[in-house]
Amino acid sequence: MNKTLLLSSLLITTLFARENPFFSLSEGIALPVSSEKNTNKPPLTSMTYNFPNNSRLLKEVSFTFQNVDGSFETRKLEIDQSIDWRAPLVLSQSNIRSSPSTTKEKSSNVNNELIQFIASGNKTSLIAKEPMIRQFTLTDPDSVVVDFKHSGAFESYIALDGHHICNVSKTDQGASVICK
């Protein structure tokens, strides 16, 4: 009797099981899906949009962008202003810090008794006499932490300017950190 009850309850529960238990019950919610695709796209400089000849009022503009983690997000900008349909709408992005054509590869070097940091572009080399033990990233504040063995251990901390995907690898001279 117990075996029959167990077998029938097992069969009934499989009837109500979802194909993928990690997705939400409500199918209307789009879940972020990350991928390992190479997303090296040229940077946005400028683009234009020509309105149809019956356009008179621009109500809103929506921007859909991909985050560092691969998820997509949409933001709407309410405008509600009249437009001249003969003039194109220009969308441009400027880098306040420096333009890409005039940016030179900046390099900096920090040295103390235990470790030497050499930063160039998006790569930072950590040169130490001791081997790397472990590494991890923190999200608040955004940073990379690398631990080295030295009479116990010592820790190096690299503060980042925002969310980045960082690859930390062990080298013969210490460690290498490359952020995208």
Residue 1 has pLDDT above 60, yes or no: yes
Q: What angle do CA 149, 150, 156 make, to 5 degrees?
A: 70
Tens-digit pLDDT profile for residues 133-142: 999 988 888 8
Residues 26-33: what's their mean pLDDT? 54
Residue appearing with tokens 């009022």: 57
Tens-digit pLDDT profile for residues 106-115: 667 777 888 8
* Coil/strand/helix, residue 3: helix
Which pLDDT score is estimated for 17? 73
Q: Is the pTM of this model over 0.85?
A: no
Residues 162-173: what's their mean pLDDT? 88
pLDDT band, very low/low/confident/very high, at 129 (cuts 50, 70, 90): confident
Please compute Rg for the chain using Cα positions.
Answer: 26
Which pLDDT score is estimated for 76? 95
